[in-house]
Amino acid sequence: MASLRDIRKHISSVKSIKQITYAMKMVAAARIKRAQGAILASRPFAREMDRLIEDLYGELAEGDLPAAGAGALFEERHPGGSLCLVLVTADKGLCGSFNTNLLKAAAAWLRENRGRKVRVVVVGRKGRDFLRRLKGLDMEISHEMVGIFPKAGYVHAQLLSDAILKLYLENPVESVTLIYNEFKSMVSQRIVTDQLLPLKRHILENNAAAKRRSGEFAFEPGKSDLLGALLPRHIGAQLYRTLLESQAAELAARMSAMESASKNASELIDGLTLKMNKTRQAMITTELNEIVSGSEALGG
């Protein structure tokens, strides 16, 4: 049976753990407000950007597209060649299954594309460390970005999109896939696997509405140049949203994980305190018993 001293030590260590988890929860809770605000603030820009691209795309004649420098981003590429994966994870752990699920999804994706050359662009320390440990795959980490959370800004998204575009335009990469956690609500995150490039698919889907305004606008510089300048920014905006979503999701995951950890610690402390009291009582009873039986033996 554990001695009183052991139990007391155990209680105090659990208490200090609880303090840490509680503090982490409060920090995450304070930060998540700002992260959510950032998501909301980024929406108007992304929306207007998408609309402008749709309009512009509607104005372009079929033949104009390849002429634009942007044509390369739209074209479906021939199957074959390498693939590119963009994985957005967290920098730190202690956020429940946030990273585990992401890494599982990434591993599944890699297994699906086994045997092909994969170039990876990774954001977040956890993902980088995971990918570095992987062996026996034809995989190359082309670009990594760590330590940007929880202060991800548009500049980071720009650096990231520059890296991805460079990779895409200079190498025969068939497609670019994006895996990240989407912020659904304070209690749930969803893993999203999305195709970032080539672009054609996204934009044609909601192109119908754009046609009607045709001919109304004047453009400077030419339409195709304009589109060529717009598209990299569109990708930047999309990546920016991805980073913000992942950031908010990480904070939400950490908040709920730390909350349940604090709760568990409280329960543990309650149980241990009860056990300690019982032990102490038992010791007193035994001692009393000994004294009484001793005096009885002496006095008769």
Residues marked active site are found at 95
The letter for the amino acid at 155 is V
- Decide if residue 155 touches another protein (CB under 8 A): yes
SS3 256: helix
Residue ranges of alpha helices (H) inside 113-217 are: 125-133, 154-170, 200-205
Q: Which region, judged by CB under 8 A, interacts with another protein, from 14-22, 105-113, 140-148, 248-256?
A: 140-148
Binding mask 178-217 for another protein (x = CB under 8 A): --------------------------------------xx
- Decide if residue 61 touches another protein (CB under 8 A): no
Report the residue from 46, 60, 65, 72 that binds another protein according to the rule CB under 8 A. Answer: 46
How far is the C-alpha of 240 from the C-alpha of 233, rounded, in Å?
Answer: 10
SS3 277: helix
How far is the C-alpha of 60 from the C-alpha of 62, rounded, in Å?
Answer: 6
Report the residue from 96, 127, 150, 236 that binds another protein according to the rule CB under 8 A. Answer: 236
Report the residue from 121, 226, 251, 258 that binds another protein according to the rule CB under 8 A. Answer: 226
Pair 123, 145: CB distance under 8 Å: yes
Peptide bond into 221 cis (omega under 30): yes
Q: Which is nearer to another protein, 160 or 258 (CB)?
A: 160
Q: Which is nearer to another protein, 112 or 216 (CB)?
A: 216
Pair 85, 118: CB distance under 8 Å: yes
- Decide if residue 146 touches another protein (CB under 8 A): yes
CB atoms within 10 A of CB 214: 10
Q: State the residues that interact with another protein by CB under 8 A.
A: 38, 41-42, 44-46, 48-49, 52, 55-56, 145-148, 153-159, 216-221, 225-226, 229-230, 233, 236-237, 240
